[in-house]
Amino acid sequence: MKDTFRHQGKRKQLVEVVKSKGVKDENVLAAINKIPRHLFMDSSFEDHAYQDKAFPIAADQTISQPYTVAFQSELLQVQKGEKVLEIGTGSGYQTAVLCELGAKVFSIERQQELYKKTKLFLAKINYRPKFLSFGDGYKGLPNYAPFDKIIVTAGAPFVPRPLLAQLKVGGRLVIPVGDDPQIMTLFVRKSAKEFEKKEFGEFRFVPLLEDKN
């Protein structure tokens, strides 16, 4: 579990790449600069960990492209101490970014193998989300709702209603919607019944699957 000067130097370069693509949030850039992404990946990919690319991880999932993680995190506008629901824990990289931003993170993963592995791994590198859950992301976590922010890290063919319902008034939901590619979409809850929707261009994600358990 080494994080060397070489890794740190490569992270600095990655931050510059992410910046050049338009991400400006200093807290998000600081999180990308701090988190040892190579530890979240198979060791055979270690040399490529700081390229701005997605890579395969366990259970046919991927670790998202750093730019995508940074873009979604910036859209979310996380404030310290906020309750953030993450749909799709995956490798735990986005989870770690949210922790660095000071969020109280509640995260759901539907692949049991990945859920177990990531839960152990995050604790090992001292990231402590508030709650990690094995389950169906479409349902959210009603027992812990409402949330200040919700982030979906897999492509959704439609916006699951329970997620909108679990958002606080004033809260933000960032979700990639569509088949392939997806459109990055932001919903801001204006009142109990009213949502404002904005779209932010095309991204590619693995699909968010329903009722996998």
| CATH number of the CATH domain containing 89 | 3.40.50.150
Domain membership flag for residue 27: no
Identify the weakest region by mean pLDDT among 32-41, 48-57, 96-105.
48-57
Domain, as residue range, for 184: 55-203
pLDDT for the residue 50: 94
Write down the catalytic residue from 20, 43, 44, 64: 64
pLDDT for the residue 212: 43
* Residues 104-137: tens digit of each pLDDT: 999 999 999 999 999 999 999 999 999 999 999 9
CA dihedral sign, ordered 152, 105, 117, 47: positive
Ranges assigned E (strand) in the chain: 55-56, 62-63, 83-87, 104-109, 131-134, 147-152, 167-177, 182-189, 195-203
Identify the weakest region by mean pLDDT among 17-26, 91-100, 129-138, 198-207.
198-207
Task: Tell me how long the chain is.
Answer: 213
Domain membership flag for residue 21: no
Domain membership flag for residue 212: no
Summary mean pLDDT of the chain: 92
Domain membership flag for residue 93: yes
Longest dimension (CA), the chain: 51
Domain membership flag for residue 106: yes
pLDDT at 208 over 70: no
Q: What DSSP string describes 134-183?
A: ES-GGG--GGG--EEEEEE-SBBSS--HHHHHTEEEEEEEEEEESSSSEE
Domain membership flag for residue 114: yes
pTM, 2 dp: 0.93
Domain membership flag for residue 138: yes
Domain membership flag for residue 44: no
b vs e for 65-90, b when ≥16 Cβ sit within 10 Å of the residue's Cβ? bbbbbbbbbbbbbbeeebbbbbbbbb
The answer to whether 44 is a known catalytic residue is no
CA dihedral sign, ordered 38, 41, 43, 48: negative
Place of tokens 């995190």: 73
Instruction: Count structural domains, the chain.
Output: 1
